[in-house]
Structure 1
Amino acid sequence: MSAMQQSPRRRGRALRLLLLVVALAVAAVLALVTSNPTGGGALLVPRGTSTTKQRLNLRTVRQAATSTPLAGGHGDPQADTDAVLLPDWEVLVLLHPAAAPPGDHHNATCAFPSGASSPARSVRRMPASGRRAYSCAMPAPERRHKPPFGVPTLLIDGAPPQSSRSPPAAISSSRELLQRWSGRLVYDAAALPGGDVVVFAKGVNPRQGVNRNASDIRCVYYRGRDATGDAVVASLPAATSAQQVFRCPPPTTTDEKDLRVTLAVAGGEPIPSVATYSPAPPPEQKDKKHLVCACTMVRDVAKFLREWVVYHAAVGVDRFFLYDNGSQDGLEAQVRELNSEGFHVTTHIWPWPKAQEAGFSYAAAAHRDECHWMAFVDVDEFIFDPAWAAHQPSKPEAKSTTMLPALVAAVEPDAGQVTLGCRDFGPSGQTRHPEEGVTQGYTCRRRAEERHKSLVRLDAVDASLVNSIHHFELRPGFRWERSRHARVNHYKYQAWDEFKLKFRRRVSTYVADWTDPVNHGSRDRTPGLGFEAVEPAGWANKFCDVHDTLLKDVTTRWFGAGFNGRRGLGPPTHHSSSS
């Protein structure tokens, strides 16, 4: 064979050899970059808003319960920003606590990498971390780009300028990418009194009633940005795993106030995270616990809130906790008005879609030291004892004789939960929201009793915090008790213009949205209603088996026609009786 014929073969072998040398050199450089100064493997955790494929040294994560923090601290808090792409192209931007502007009502602008921008609405602080949150819509020009999407720069209105010519303060995380709510995500964490940490994550237990063993899960605490990259501080086994809630031990005390936390599942890669961890503050000296509180998750219920609060305060609720799932109807103004009148209403944001169970888990843990009992009822649900219908109203200071305190005082010490049957009311001939309120405007209901709601003794809630919205799992030694008299009037099937708003999105994790063409025969569906917001024929007169005006008559007597909600009127007293 001639030299001319052999030359291409030799050139091919030489090229392959050259490529092999280059590959080995690149591997050596990467090994040098990802090693730490002590000789151990550096443990890298994906930044909350990054989709770059950083990897943890999982062997070290599994074996090392704690590790000595590397030198260095937090980077610039102005740049430590996270963002999550929620359904309907909504972007939730979370600032580092140190980066939050003063005050609670600064609006802003989201400036996206494409050059498009949209107004950003302040949605206050996250309840656990205290991080300021902003919500903005992703503009159409940005949506046209292929994912992954970049995190917007947040231009905050009203922030103190650096000089008279300075533009609005900019908070940006350049080159960071949006996390997507549609995937696995650790989205929040809360340090509880006593030390435990509750971590909230979606995608780990996606099926109702099927929970991964806690032994499969490790809680990974790591630094945010610093000069040496993200570094793991501790990797600890989870104590419980249920739904979207994971109870973790805290990391060993460090000098750092702010860490991030994520989960590593079954030896796999850590889940992307936007959750931060700070040790629980020292317990405050509080007044004695309230006997009965109420908690609900709300979205655009401002016009219903007064009736619900005034009524339940009259029957013995001391404090109200609202978890706001994206209201834009003046809820804050309504809450301020109620508080100015002497009611005690606290609002926390809970911006996560279809995460009601997790929100209630957080509430049960967070308010345990404030309340003995918590009523988990919606704003269209009213706890009522029909035996009170014939009584006259008393002064509001007669708390000990009101309905709810009397109800919980009568249960045995091992009763951890009192269940209340529900009566579902229909539209009752109404074609629009009744001006007199739901208790006086809807008076016709279904005959059958529906699912129960509960009054929960917070000290009795299981460590897993697992719940089905209607009730909680209890610790060993506690049991359920059913109320023989009290019930819930559920004004469920309202005038069509109100009811159709439910089609936007349901808040429960494991209940299909109204528009999802699944589970047509489920009890969570409305009989005769399809998957679109189309009014069925005869809607105004549906679900009417029994005319029931008991609560209408009581609220008219206590608060007047039209439910003016006067504070001076209170609930009825029980007449004493002897045996």
Structure 2
Amino acid sequence: MSGSHGEAEMWNFGKSSWPAMPPQQRHNLSFPPDLNQLCVVGRMKLNSYIASIHDACSPNIFPIRHRFSLLLRRPLPPFPPPSPSSPPGPPHNYPYRHANSAVNYAIHENLTGAAAAAYSPHGTAPLPAPSPSSSSPPPSPISTTAILLPDWEVLVIVSPETPPSNLDGYLCLFDNNETSPARFSGLLQFPDRATFSCLLPVRARRRRLPFRQPVLLKSPDNPPERQSAAPPLLRWTYLVYDSLTTEDDVVLFVKGVNIRQGTNREPSEFRCVFGDDVSNGVKTTVTTSMQEVFRCKRPELTAVSSVGGETNPNPMKISLEIVRENRVVPSVAYYTPPRKLESKNRKSLLCASTMVYDVTKFLREWVLYHSRIGVEKFILYDNGSDDDLGGVVDKLVKEGFDINTYSWRWPKTQEAGFSHSALYAKEVCTWMMYLDVDEFVYSPSWQNLSEPSNSLLHPHDLISPNSSSSSSAGQISISCYEFGPSDQRVHPVTGVTQGYNCRRRYENRHKSIVLLDAVDDSLLNVIHHFKLRAGYKTRKLSTKVMVVNHYKYQAWPEFKAKFRRRVSAYVLDWTKKLNPNSNDRTPGLGFEAVEPQGWPRMFCEVRDNKLRDLVLRWFGIKLDHGIRMAWQR
């Protein structure tokens, strides 16, 4: 086989069969003149040759002269290591394959006896028959669904049928063979599903749309084989992301259908679809369509069973069909039995609900304060916290505080989260206070109290019994004072109530305490207040009766963290260069997280020490060297 004639016979595929690669690579690509050289080249170089041959051949088999054939989908046999002087293999643009992984190409040896010896690497013995690879087979892929969130974050949701064995050390492998670390991001509930967060690699962002879903794995060295192209990443802007089943109906939470605030499509335009098979799934009518909340009738039990209910142990998907467009919104939500927040004790008179993201440094102060003035239960909607929220909550629960967390991983869905809580907690809470963790309710009438009382926030006491609207009051509205940085440059160790004491002169916005039985079926809420059923009214309190101290503009490092994202679905993020004169913008602040000149003294029009002095008296612990607040550690 030596010489140009043998080489031409073995390797002359014809110019038209060359794989698509840059001309300089084709020019530099050479093949060994005999099999002896082929068997001793390095693994990297061999893989390059084989990949080139594969792309030049037909998909199944291509005969090669001299009684050799190239067979596809066979494990690569072991080869001796290359000599130190062996040149590196030529560069190529073929899909990544690790040296120890099973590849889709192999050389099958058909010679026997003397003929085989002639082509042995050492010229004295036949080549051994290919043996199975000594490396472990690729692991079974973990069944996942992935969503592209804002800021190039990819949320990977593990199927409830294939939970991961543990939660550490995972990677996201994308279709361009790049990886990024996958951080455990909490459990979605009903059914329980582990979630992981990773970033879409920069180079993957430049690829042609659609972006593809990654594979969740432990190591890129032995990836599971893909039988087909990965499905496209689900887009966060168009998705059924959660559901809640009540005794009477099913509530879907959907992005991308009612897009503009105040403009809602008619319920008759939609149907709820139960089951993965849209054509054979059960469909029910939609009764309300408001913001991101859609309510529909529950399906008949026999109909659900036919698509996998009682007879199928696997959870069943639920989605929303747009009838006129004959289109179903992609979904990661499941249909589950009716559920509600459980309570070991009696029904609480007053609860507090809020959406949180990385607030553990404030949480203890907020819980201790409000629990002493009448809040009996706290419900936290975790918006993807990464600061050990679970650990802090566990400690508070062990101290006797009644706190529940609900994993609400969805960005810019504050209104939908409040709608969810109004239903989810209805059986265990009579009134619900919707308040952020940097907000503290306070009444000037408490100023002379030596200690707090659990009855200070009693809703019925806040509604004057002499008022004609007392029996029909379904919501209490409380105005807010907005506090500035108050010369603070870092988070005050004694807490926000002690560190910030300078505010803007006039109140702005409001927060609400809501009678859950009075909430309208649409669950519509806007800026912390709900639409009420017919016959119920909202009572607005004077600032002389009650006020919310909102520690909004804190020390710059704390305020800067808010640039991550605004939580409201209808409020522009800080970095969006639209509507610069909106009341939701911070005066004097641009579109980037750059500290304005004079920030520590901004928004300081009135020195207000009323709540600071009261809290110091109620929660200050005298020590030999000074005073420590009850929440300090």
Q: Settle same-fold status: TM greater than 0.5.
A: yes
Q: How many residues are treated as equivalent by the alignment?
A: 471
2:582 is the counterpart of 1:522: yes
Q: Which residue of 547, 558, 563 maps to 2:629?
A: 563
Deviation at 1:370, TM superposition (A): 1.3
1:110 maps onto 2:176 in alignment: no
Change (3 A) 1:82 1:171: farther
1:244–1:527: structure 2 CA closer, same or farther, 3 Å change rule? same
- 1:127 maps onto 2:189 in alignment: yes
**Partner residue, 1:247:** 295
- Which one of 501, 507, 514 corresponds to residue 561 of structure 2? 501
Query: Match for residue 267 of structure 1?
Result: 324
Change over 3 Å in CA distance of 1:519–1:407 after alignment to 2: farther
Q: Residue 454 of structure 1: CA displacement? A: 0.2
1:458 to 516, 526, 545: 516
Correspondence 1:289 to 2:347: yes
**Structure 1's 277 and 174: CA in aligned 2 closer, same or farther, altered over 3 A?**
farther
Contact persistence 2:172–2:181 (CA under 8 A):
yes
Contact 2:141 2:217 in 1 (8 A): no
Q: Work out which of the residue numbers 366, 370, 376 in structure 2 matches 1:308.
A: 366
Q: How far is 1:108 from its partner?
A: 2.8
Is it true that 1:357 corresponds to 2:431 in the alignment?
Answer: no
In structure 2, relative to structure 1, the CA distance for the partners of 1:534 and 1:482 (3 Å cut) is same
Q: Deviations over 1:511-534 (max 9, x none)?
A: 011111122221111122222222
Tell me what 2:199 maps to.
137
Deviations 1:493-544 (A, max 9, x none): 1112211222221111100111111222211111222222222222211212
SS of equivalent to 2:541 = strand
Q: Give the one of 135, 144, 163 matched to 1:100.
A: 163
Preserved contact between residue 223 and residue 259 of structure 1 (Cα < 8 Å): yes
CA distance in 1, matches of 2:227, 2:447: 60
- Conserved 8 A contact 1:129-1:278: yes
Unaligned runs of 5+ in 1: 1-76, 158-166, 225-229, 568-579
Match of 1:208 in 2: 261
Q: How far apart in 2 are the matches of 1:364 and 1:557?
A: 35
Q: How far apart are residue 553 of structure 1 and its match?
A: 0.6
Aligned with residue 223 of structure 1, among 276, 282, 297:
276
Q: What amino acid is the match of 1:186?
A: V
Quick one: distance in 2 between partners of 1:125 and 1:265?
A: 30
Q: What residue identity is the alignment partner of 1:250?
A: R
Deviation (angstroms), 1:559: 1.0
Answer whether contact 2:142 2:164 (CA < 8 A) is retained: no
Task: Label 1:332 to 1:371 Cα distance change in 2 as closer, same or farther (>3 A).
Answer: same
- Structure 1 range deviating more: 168-177 or 319-328: 168-177
* Cα drift, residue 552 of structure 1: 0.5
Alignment match, 1:438: 496
Alignment of 1:325-364 (within 5 A): 325-364=383-422
AA partner of residue 220 (structure 1): V
Query: What secondary structure sits across from 2:161 in the alignment?
Result: helix
Q: 1:541 to 1:490 in 2, by over 3 A?
A: same
Q: Contact between 2:496 and 2:551, CA under 8 Å: does it hold in 1? A: yes
How far off its partner does 1:449 sit?
1.1
Structure-2 residue corresponding to 1:184: 238
Name the SS of the counterpart of 1:238 in structure 2: strand
Distance 1:456 1:294, change over 3 A: same
Amino acid at match of 2:290: A
After superposition, the Cα gap between the structure-2 partners of 1:171 and 1:435, relative to the gap in structure 1 and judged at 3 Å, is: farther
| Partner SS, residue 237 of structure 1 | strand
SS at structure 2 position matched to 1:99: coil
Superposed CA offset, 1:306-351 (max 9, x none): 1111111111111111111121122222212212211122222211
TM-fit CA distance, 1:152: 2.0
Provide the residue aligned with 1:479 in structure 2: 537
Q: Deviations over 1:37-64 (max 9, x none)?
A: xxxxxxxxxxxxxxxxxxxxxxxxxxxx
CA contact 2:287–2:295 (8 Å) conserved in 1? yes
Structure 1 residues 106 and 316: CA distance shift in structure 2, 3 A? farther
Contact (CA 8 Å) 1:78, 1:96: kept in 2 or not?
Answer: no
Q: Which amino acid aligns with 2:505?
A: R
The one of 147, 155, 158 aligned to 1:84: 147
* 1:32 counterpart residue number: none
Superposition map of 1:37-48 within 5 A: none
Instruction: Compare 432-441 and 336-345 and name the one that shifted more.
Output: 336-345
Q: Distance in 2 between matches of 1:421 and 1:510?
A: 21
| AA at the equivalent of 1:118 | S
- Asked if the contact 1:245/1:465 (under 8 Å) is kept, the reply is yes
Instruction: Decide whether aligned partners of structure 1 residues 129 and 350 sit closer, same or farther in structure 2, where only a CA change above 3 A counts.
Output: same
Q: C-alpha separation between the residues in 2 aligned to 1:300 and 1:285?
A: 26
Cα separation, partners in 2 of 1:156 and 1:252, compared to 1, 3 Å: farther
The separation in 2 between residues aligned to 1:416 and 1:458, in whole angstroms, is 8
How many angstroms apart in 2 are the aligned matches of 1:216 and 1:404?
A: 43
Moved more, 297-306 or 260-269: 260-269
Specify the code of the residue in structure 1 equivalent to 2:241. Y
Residues of 2 paired with 1:324 and 1:391: CA distance?
Answer: 34
Residue 197 (str. 1) matches residue 250 (str. 2): yes
How far apart are the structure 2 equivalents of 1:544 and 1:171?
Answer: 61
Shift of 1:284: 6.5
Q: 1:546 aligns with which of 603, 606, 613?
A: 606
Distance 2:438 2:566 in 1: 15
- Note closer, same or farther for the CA distance 1:83–1:174 as it changes in structure 2 (3 Å cut): farther
In the alignment, which residue of structure 1 is the partner of 2:119? none
Which deviates more, 450-459 or 270-279? 270-279
**After the TM superposition, which residues 411-426 of structure 1 pair with which residues of structure 2 at under 5 Å, given as runs?**
412-426=470-484
In 1, Cα distance between equivalents of 2:335 and 2:538: 35
Match of 1:491 in 2: 551
TM-score using structure 2 length: 0.70
Correspondence for 2:457: 403
1: CA distance between counterparts of 2:602 and 2:317? 51
Give me the whole-angstrom Cα distance separating, in 1, the residues matched to 2:583 and 2:609.
Answer: 26
Q: Secondary structure of the residue that 2:614 maps to in structure 1?
A: helix
The residue identity in structure 2 corresponding to 1:181 is R
TM-score by length of 1: 0.76
| Separation (CA, whole Å) in 2 of partners of 1:328 and 1:259 | 30
Q: Distance in 2 between matches of 1:170 and 1:459?
A: 52
Q: Describe the SS at the equivalent of 2:338.
A: coil
**Alignment map for 1:4-23 (pairs within 5 Å):** none
Root mean square deviation of aligned Cα: 2.7
Provide the C-alpha distance between the structure 2 equivalents of 1:497 and 1:477, rounded to a whole number of angstroms: 46
Distance 2:280 2:226 in 1: 24
Rg: which structure is higher?
2
AA of the residue aligned to 1:361? S
Q: Could you tell me how far apart the structure 1 residues matched to 2:293 and 2:447 are?
A: 42
Taking a change above 3 Å as real, the CA distance of residues 444 and 454 of structure 1, as seen in their structure-2 partners, is same
Q: Following TM superposition, by how much is the alpha carbon of 1:123 offset from its aligned partner in structure 2, in angstroms?
A: 2.2
Deviations 1:61-98 (A, max 9, x none): xxxxxxxxxxxxxxxx9865321011122111122223
* C-alpha separation in 1, matches of 2:594 and 2:444: 35
Contact (CA 8 Å) 1:85, 1:178: kept in 2 or not? no
Match of 2:98 in 1: none
Is the contact made by 2:483 and 2:500 (CA closer than 8 Å) also made in structure 1? yes
With over 3 angstroms needed to count, the CA separation of the structure-2 counterparts of 1:170 and 1:342, relative to structure 1, is farther
The answer to whether residue 296 in structure 2 is matched with residue 236 in structure 1 is no
Matched position secondary structure for 2:198:
strand
Report the CA distance between 1:208 and its aligned residue: 0.7
Unaligned runs of 5+ in 2: 1-139, 310-314, 621-626
User: Does the CA-based 8 Å contact 1:422-1:487 persist in structure 2?
Assistant: yes
Contact 2:141 2:216 in 1 (8 A): no
Distance 1:284-1:403 versus aligned 2 partners, 3 A rule: closer
SS in 2 for 1:322: strand
User: What's the counterpart of residue 22 of structure 2?
Assistant: none
